[in-house]
Amino acid sequence: MERGIRIADLFKEEEKWPGKTAVVQGWVKTRRDSRAGVGFIELNDGSNLKGVQIVVELEGRDYSGLLGQITTGSAILVEGLVAASPGKGQSIELRAERIEIYGRAEAETYPLQKKRHSFEYLRRIAHLRPRTNTIGAAARVRSRLSFAIHRFFQDRGFHYIHTPVITASDCEGAGETFRVTTLDPARPVSGQTEDPYKSDFFARPAFLTVSGQLQAEIYALALGQVYTFGPTFRAENSNTSRHLAEFWMVEPEMAFHDLEDDLEVALAFIKYLIEVVLGECAQEAEFFNRFIEPGLIERLENAVRRSSEVVTYTEAVDILSKSGEKFAFPVEWGCDFQAEHERYLTEKVFGRPVAILNFPRALKPFYMRVNDDQKTVAAMDILVPGIGEIIGGSQREERLDVLLEQMSMKGIPKEDYRWYIELREFGSAPHSGFGLGLERLVQFVTGLPNIRETIPFPRTPGHAEF
């Protein structure tokens, strides 16, 4: 079929285009007709934010009938002469010479009208919302960031490991797993009480993974530096603006790295990704700065320019309890930080990303390395303004006896983790890693108030349509 040029490519070499003919294909954002017999179509093909302006000279051509059918939302092809644009805000435009309509959209019933729609409304039309400026821009930023995540690690010699989506282990030990089964709850298998899983697909309890870390550890203890990057699933019943039931996590795992090394990589990683957005998604960043979060670009530039704050959990508790601030959840040593505490630290106290190290042992999963004080583990959480936790990581417990003690303390069945324990029996080595939630990162760099706008099809309690 006739293939045009992507609109973004027109603007990449905009000086060379005026005077030439181009074919573009896309969806009509708006159309207006001037009294002087000229029609203007804003056409967008998703390749960039702004699209291109099409000028249709009605005088002397038989466009009048056609133009009436080119309503907002229609898919069309335009062939035209590229010309330097007199209008402000864009350098070139297309003077239409031929227009074809692929698919019309009924003006009255097209769900995306010219006005601004609420994000809640747009979620109900997730099949059309990527055509809006905001969701389209978020999708492009997410795509660039995903690629940049691979680039960061590949450039540094990390190997990409595909860890399983279906697993028998609950890495974080929070019991927030989705069960994977082929048994029909409406038709219980009769007479199978001693082993209810006997006739299930895997003949054992199986779940969607909450994290690829434990499997990444296996490969780190063979390939040195690895990362896994894929979807993870958590059945946490938290209906917040920062939680999804299905989200993407990138998890590097590094042999011969302690917590300090881990932190260094994590901070360099965040900076790198922010620079990607400022440099490679400049149009989108400006858009979000203007319409979603005023001051966004300055906040991001700040996060790149200034070094992050690093405090211990104990210091953070001290700062919070002396702050005089009234928190819904009071702060004392041993408490888990709530969103309100995390945001107070990054937004009010430091005004930039903060890393918190060495959390109480009781708060964190079994795999984290126990510190010499026996009370804390070598954990790190990185918090950013506006979101709170964006990265969680730790040095892993490489000492067999301490790992076994941790597992007993936390009630982790050792027979299910035989392989994990054996890694400490055969060539155990210090290692560490972390997990970054892709959607929280996109939220951070776009200023989008709700995480549900950072992923094409959000999965939250009660919502799995599309």
Binding site partner of 213, from Mg ion, ligand 4AD, none, Cβ cut-off 5-8 A by kind: ligand 4AD
Q: Which of 82, 139, 161, 171 binds ligand 4AD (CB under 6 A)?
A: 171
310, 355 contact by CB (below 8 A): yes
Is there a contact between 319 and 345 (Cβ–Cβ < 8 Å)?
Answer: yes
| Cβ atoms of 53 and 85 closer than 8 Å | yes
Query: How many chain residues interact with ligand 4AD (CB under 6 A)?
Result: 24
**Closer CB to ligand 4AD, 87 or 456, in the complex:** 456
Beta carbons within 10 angstroms of residue 347's beta carbon: 16
Task: Name the minimum Å distance from CB 441 to Mg ion.
Answer: 14
Q: Between 392 and 433, whose beta carbon lies closer to Mg ion?
A: 392
Which residue lies nearest Mg ion, judged by its C-beta? 392
| Residue 440 within binding range of ligand 4AD, rule CB under 6 A | yes
**What distance in Å separates the CA atoms of residue 363 and residue 370, rounded to the nearest whole number?**
12
Distance CA 269, CA 317 (A): 27
Closest CB to ligand 4AD belongs to which residue? 392
Q: Which tokens is 456 given?
A: 């094409």
CB of 310 vs ligand 4AD, minimal distance in Å: 17
CA distance 363 to 150: 31
Residues forming contacts to Mg ion in the complex (CB under 5 A) are: 392
**Which of helix, strand or coil describes residue 460?**
strand
Q: Could you give the string, one character per residue 386-425, with x where binding to ligand 4AD holds by CB under 6 A and - elsewhere?
A: ---xxxxxx-------------------------------
Tokens of 83: 């010309």
Residue 234 in the binding site for ligand 4AD (CB under 6 A): yes
Which part of the chain contacts ligand 4AD (CB under 6 A), choosing from 54-62, 243-251, 278-286, 356-364?
Answer: 243-251
Name the residue type at position 298: E
- The residues near 408 (Cβ < 8 Å, ≥ 6 apart) are none
Per-state percent for the chain, helix, strand, coil, to nearest 5: 35, 25, 40
Using left for φ > 0, alpha for ψ between -120 and 50, and beta otherwise, residue 345 falls in: alpha
Q: 395 has which bridge partners?
A: 432
Q: How far is the CB of 364 from Mg ion (least distance, A)?
A: 8
Q: In the complex with ligand 4AD, which residue's Cβ is closer, 49 or 316? A: 316
By a kind-dependent CB cut-off of 5 to 8 A, residue 76 interacts, out of Mg ion, ligand 4AD, none, with none
213 binds ligand 4AD (CB under 6 A): yes
* Site of interaction with ligand 4AD (CB under 6 A): 171-172, 211, 213, 234, 236, 243-244, 247, 249, 251, 389-394, 433-437, 439-440
